[in-house]
Chain A
């Protein structure tokens, strides 16, 4: 990644944090608010593949952790896993399909919240499994599915050259879908 790419990624991350810390926290309904920081590794996984998805998940997670009372580093860990997972799961798919980002955001966000709660519980925060988990998963996943396309555009702007890393070499050689 060039310095310009790093600056762009930083800018996009800053925009996401600003929206999350202002608009999204105020959209709280029934004690639950959306979490758009999860979108970053998911769409980065689609745009740049598993490696970039994992990297974006790590850094976006660390930034998100600065504002959370939950264990520091937990969002980075889960973000890395989800970014890698989404990137790997979408390798063989047509990444230009319009339905892919919302579907990936829906499934990725649900999985993120589930893993987050389970790992948090393992790390000495058992209440994380006893909160209104289903409501959190539904609210976060649906909002993220709706916002997936604009988020994808922003991340695609920040990561202009889609990576071939992790793509099966046979697919790269034949110029197949990325």
Chain B
């Protein structure tokens, strides 16, 4: 029996598309195409900001209505009335707690001890990242508010991350826990030793590079940004606190695990520090 022949066209199409993709990835990584892709990303973010806000405004009441309808048929009228009252009270309590939490974060941001002479722009966290493979957040301020690429972003406890994408009204922040994040830090008694903290992924502890073996590092010790010349963060911002430190028998470096100083899992508001490495 003769083997069926397949058209070559789809394979040619695939080959062209794969080559095009690889070219785009390479050009973007080498910087030649980055300005174009960055501009396109910025345009998309600006174009989708009102769509997102509009869809959320539509969906939220529908969701509440559907949730209410599901419960409506399940209980008798009197019980339902009581239930509704309970729900309302719970909702009020929850929203009060929510408002208190937001207020606490905002108040803390107004008085950050580690930013005495630096200007900053407060921002609301609008989303916890668009990719499952990167630790990032979206915030409600952008270039129109003075936000630029690479600016540091801080939360109530300390460093949150760095601006990696800025459109007119929104920005994307790479969190310190992201695998691509590396922060130069100082630790120990003044003037302090230098190390680099790297992210290991969302929700995972940070790890420290360049801490020599048998260095006395204790749990709870704080690592702060080094602020060396040309550093991407100003000096003195708390980055993380030590959770554990141990040295293997033949290791040249100490294995140090740290917890981010800012509560990255519950960020509501952050501040973008209007600072660049030249300052």
Report A's interface with B, CB cutoff 8 A: 17-18, 21-23, 25-26, 28, 31-33, 35, 49-51, 54-55, 57-58, 61-62, 65-74, 76-77, 80-81, 84, 87-88, 116-117, 120, 123-128, 130-132, 136, 140, 164-171
Given contacts A54-B14, A81-B18, A84-B14, contact A166 B132 (CB under 8 A): no
User: Which of B4, B7, B11, B14: most chain A CB closer than 10 A?
Assistant: B14
- Distance in angstroms from B57 CB to nearest chain A CB is 10
Contacts of A128 in B (CB 8 A): 133-134, 179
Contact A166 B7 (CB under 8 A): yes
Contact B133 A70 (CB under 8 A): yes
Contact B179 A69 (CB under 8 A): no
B131 is an interface residue with CB less than 8 A from chain A: yes
Contact B24 A76 (CB under 8 A): yes
Q: A22-B56, A70-B133, A170-B2 provided; 12 other pairs, C-beta below 8 A?
A: A21-B48, A23-B55, A23-B59, A49-B10, A51-B13, A72-B33, A76-B17, A126-B179, A164-B7, A165-B7, A166-B11, A168-B4
Contact B130 A25 (CB under 8 A): yes
Assembled-state Cα–Cα distance A6/B199 (Å): 42
- Interface 9-mer from B146-154, B200-208, B232-240: B200-208
Contact A50 B201 (CB under 8 A): no
With both beta carbons as reference points, the residue of chain A lying nearest to B27 in the complex is identified as: A73
Contacts of A50 in B (CB 8 A): 10-11, 13-14
Assembled-state Cα–Cα distance A40/B165 (Å): 26
Assembled-state Cα–Cα distance A144/B35 (Å): 33
Contact B7 A167 (CB under 8 A): yes
Contacts of A169 in B (CB 8 A): 4-7
B107 is an interface residue with CB less than 8 A from chain A: no
Contact A166 B6 (CB under 8 A): yes
- Interface 9-mer from B36-44, B186-194, B247-255: B36-44
B259 is an interface residue with CB less than 8 A from chain A: no
- Distance in angstroms from B52 CB to nearest chain A CB is 5
Contacts of B45 in A (CB 8 A): 67
Given contacts A17-B48, A125-B180, A127-B178, contact A73 B14 (CB under 8 A): no
Given contacts A72-B37, A130-B200, contact A80 B18 (CB under 8 A): yes
- Distance in angstroms from A47 CB to nearest chain B CB is 14
Assembled-state Cα–Cα distance A81/B22 (Å): 12
Given contacts A22-B56, A69-B172, A127-B178, contact A116 B21 (CB under 8 A): no
- Distance in angstroms from B206 CB to nearest chain A CB is 12
Q: List 25 A-B contacts (CB under 8 A).
A: A18-B48, A18-B55, A23-B59, A26-B56, A28-B128, A50-B13, A51-B9, A55-B13, A65-B37, A67-B48, A68-B131, A69-B130, A69-B134, A70-B134, A72-B24, A116-B133, A117-B133, A128-B134, A128-B179, A130-B179, A131-B201, A165-B9, A166-B7, A170-B4, A171-B4
